[in-house]
Amino acid sequence: MQPTYIPWMGYFDLIRSSDKFVFLDDVKLEKSSWHVRNRIRGAHGEIMLSQVVATPEGRMSSRINTTEFKPGNPWRRKHLKAIAMSYAKTPYYKAYYSELEHYILNGSHNLAEFNIGLIKLLMNLLKIDTPTIRMSELGDIPGAKDVRLRNLCLHLGANVYLSPAGARDYIEQEIPGGEIAKAGVEVRYQHFEHPVYQQAYQPFISHLGVIDALFNLGQENTLAALKEGGK
């Protein structure tokens, strides 16, 4: 999966359900995508938090692992202010905010390194210990779409590939399981049903960044909700 900003609960269910998780960090940056933004729950509805990146070579030439944040832009402090205002009254705000604050203020200026580091921090808070690998550190894995995923599986010696449901269209564009299955690797699709839980404000909004669940539920209940949604 591409290393997105404050991913939603389903992203962490995919990590939790895997023996190895690969960050697809060497692909093209989609500037107006989850690569650089995500949502939290404020008093008056959802709030979109967007990182500010520099693309001197143009968006079409930028990759996640070579993209840097725009120097001098105060997005980090703005995001922390929004998070504090939104979650200060939640049951687990004091348990998690200071660690999150420290990371956001001091994390890397590189987009991939920052997002991967934040995901690993959230994994640690959730007590998810799945080993992770960066695609950019594996050398040249050739191909595109399901061909590249097939080559990745073969490189790592995988016999099962667990895919987000949204990738089915390009994996199975030609045949069931695509090139991955043709190589003898079983393809399974994640089926995650987003749980409903008590938020600080009503009505409930789903598919927010996972910190919404952490602040409202704490580690044990968030992990239990992940497991329940992933059944």
The residues near 56 (Cβ < 8 Å, ≥ 6 apart) are none
Asked if residue 209 belongs to a domain, the reply is yes
Q: Which helix (H) or strand (E) holds 15?
A: helix 9-16
CA 187 to chain centre: 21
Asked if residue 74 belongs to a domain, the reply is yes
Q: What is the pTM of this model?
A: 0.95
Asked if residue 181 belongs to a domain, the reply is no
What total number of domains does the chain contain? 1
The conformational region for residue 6 under phi > 0 = left, psi -120 to 50 = alpha, else beta, is left
Looking at the DSSP bridge assignments, the partners of residue 21 are 132
Per-residue model confidence as pLDDT tens digits over 47-75: 999 999 998 776 667 899 999 999 999 99
Per-residue model confidence as pLDDT tens digits over 160-177: 999 998 888 888 887 888
Asked if residue 51 belongs to a domain, the reply is yes
Asked if residue 172 belongs to a domain, the reply is no
Asked if residue 188 belongs to a domain, the reply is no
pLDDT value of position 174: 78
- Identify the domain containing residue 114 by its residue range: 9-18+27-132+193-229
pLDDT value of position 58: 65
Mean pLDDT confidence for 27-44? 92
Lowest mean pLDDT of 5-9, 118-122, 139-143, name the range. Answer: 139-143
Asked if residue 185 belongs to a domain, the reply is no
Q: Which of 26, 27, 57, 214 is nearest to 122 (CA)?
A: 214
Asked if residue 146 belongs to a domain, the reply is no
